[in-house]
A and B are shown apart, each in its own frame.
Chain A
């Protein structure tokens, strides 16, 4: 069993264009709150790299909503830990979703 994990993890490293952190966090990488890092700065990892989510689609509202603040703004990379290539795709997907009224542009005024 241990043999299996080492062999599958090893070829992954050169393939990923994003630098992989030495210690991978738990599965739900994007779930950690931006606050509460006064005491312990956890190494943030890109949710898309860790969970190997490649398709960032504008129709997947549930996924995109995790990276949109209450006010409707796109959460910056420095808070979510998403890597640059994935943030780029993410932001364009969010903008498409906004265009078709799946996500809000601004805060809820009503």
Chain B
């Protein structure tokens, strides 16, 4: 049962570039070794925190999207918890939400198509749709 998750975490702002790379690559190997798949990895860069976390006011945000099981999420969270430079993390399951959005999008697309064909068929009779509505 593979699900899509999004794992956002904040590392301390004074972390060096290669240390970040090292941390990210260990996470990625952890994902792939337990049967998951990394969909996307995005460094969102340094930004100001809304409140102070462990005496830091800035942080480097990293967003990791992956497919995997719930046990994998547990494992990644454990890793993040023990790794010193990570100051905060949040994992969110996104596949159900994505499914909902796709459904709405498809529905709208179908409606638009239906509306445009109705408009074309009604076009010769002029103001017909306005009267019926």
B-contacting residues of A (Cβ < 8 Å)? 2-4, 6-8, 10-12, 15, 52, 54-55, 58-59, 96, 98-106, 110
Q: Does B115 interact with chain A (Cβ within 8 Å)?
A: yes
A-contacting residues of B (Cβ < 8 Å)? 8, 10, 49-53, 59, 63, 88-90, 92, 97, 100-101, 104-105, 107-108, 111-112, 114-116, 118-119, 122-123, 127, 129-130, 133
- A6 and B130 form a contact (CB under 8 A): yes
Q: Which residues of chain A are near B123, meaning CB under 8 Å? A: 3
- A99 and B90 form a contact (CB under 8 A): yes
Of chain A, the residue at the smallest CB distance from B116 is A7
Q: Which residues of chain B are near A99, meaning CB under 8 Å? A: 88, 90
Choose among B50, B92, B133 the residue that contacts A98 (Cβ–Cβ < 8 A).
B50
Choose among B51, B59, B101 the residue that contacts A54 (Cβ–Cβ < 8 A).
B101
- A100 and B129 form a contact (CB under 8 A): no
Complex: how many Å from CA A7 to CA B122?
10
- A10 and B51 form a contact (CB under 8 A): no
Complex: how many Å from CA A8 to CA B118?
10
From residue A102, how far is it (CB to closest CB) to chain B in Å?
Answer: 6
- B10 and A101 form a contact (CB under 8 A): yes
In the complex, besides A59-B8, A103-B50, 17 extra interface pairs with C-beta distance below 8 angstroms are A3-B119, A3-B123, A6-B129, A7-B115, A7-B122, A8-B112, A11-B115, A15-B107, A15-B111, A54-B101, A54-B104, A55-B101, A58-B92, A96-B92, A100-B10, A100-B90, A101-B51
